[in-house]
Amino acid sequence: MDTAGRRVLVGRIVGLYGVQGWLKIESWTEPRTQIFKYQPWLLEKAPGEAMEVGGINGRPQGKGLICQLPGVDDREAAAALVGLDIHVARELLPPPAKGEYYWVDLEGLEVVTTEGVSLGRVSHLFATGANDVVVVRDGTRERLVPFVQGTYVRSVDLSGGRMVVDWDPEF
């Protein structure tokens, strides 16, 4: 699967720490400190407008994480970054284990039923308490398919760009 140009959301800048430009961040990596190993970060200011930042210095602080970005050395400069999402290039992430997938790799796949009926393409996924859900759109309709492998999701072919699901096209 070609991952060139794909980005993965790995965290968010959530606050300020001190007066020397340090920032509080939320990390969605596992373990959470792994976010510092994935560099450079792409900080999205607006859709399609990202700033690339490398050389980030970060560490755990209490129950959270803090970091300092190069060139951000006062509270005012840091405050302008609060709320920005932290993305990294997909190529920086390790390959997933067998049977596991990064959501970004599933986005755009064609979704067909076990009978060969096209349902559309994967728009995005979201987590629920029970399982992840695949949002499939075909231009006129949106379907929510539980991402439960073996039950609803029968196969995922990343290189072929297709996901086969056991799902009623009328549902």
Q: How far apart are alpha carbons 86 and 10 in whole angstroms?
A: 6
Are 84 and 150 contained in the same domain? no
Are 121 and 148 contained in the same domain? yes
Residue 65 is predicted with a pLDDT of 98
Are 56 and 87 contained in the same domain? yes
Are 18 and 86 contained in the same domain? yes
Are 72 and 128 contained in the same domain? no
State which of 91, 112, 134 marks the end of a domain: 91
Are 127 and 86 contained in the same domain? no
Report if residue 19 sits inside a domain. Answer: yes
Q: Which amino acid is at 79?
A: A
**89 bridge partner residues:** 7
Mean pLDDT of 5-22: 94
Report if residue 137 sits inside a domain. Answer: yes
State which of 58, 91, 124 marks the end of a domain: 91
Burial (CB count within 10 angstroms: exposed 0-12, middle 13-18, buried 19+), residue 41: buried
Are 61 and 125 contained in the same domain? no
Q: How many domains does the chain have?
A: 2
Q: Determine the straight-line distance between the first and last CA of the chain, rounded to whole angstroms.
A: 30
Q: What is the mean pLDDT of the chain?
A: 94
Are 69 and 110 contained in the same domain? no
Mean pLDDT of 122-133: 94
Query: Is 76 strand, coil or helix?
Result: helix
- Which tokens is 127 given? 């987590």
- Poorest-pLDDT segment among 28-32, 46-50, 161-165: 46-50
CATH classification at residue 117? 2.30.30.240
**Higher per-residue pLDDT: 1 or 165:** 165
Q: How many Cβ atoms from other residues are within 10 Å of residue 27's Cβ? A: 21
Residue with tokens 């709320």: 83
Report if residue 64 sits inside a domain. Answer: yes
Structural domain span for residue 66: 7-91
Mean pLDDT of 59-76: 96
Are 131 and 82 contained in the same domain? no
Residue 47 is predicted with a pLDDT of 77
Whole-model pTM: value is 0.79
Report if residue 96 sits inside a domain. Answer: no
Report if residue 31 sits inside a domain. Answer: yes
Are 11 and 87 contained in the same domain? yes
Q: Taking the mean position of all CA atoms in its chain, how far away is CA 124?
A: 10
Report if residue 2 sits inside a domain. Answer: no
Residue 4 is predicted with a pLDDT of 61
Burial (CB count within 10 angstroms: exposed 0-12, middle 13-18, buried 19+), residue 65: buried
Residue 5 is predicted with a pLDDT of 76
Report if residue 171 sits inside a domain. Answer: no
Mean pLDDT of 76-84: 96
Backbone angles phi, psi at 143, to 5 degrees: -120, 145
Burial (CB count within 10 angstroms: exposed 0-12, middle 13-18, buried 19+), residue 169: middle
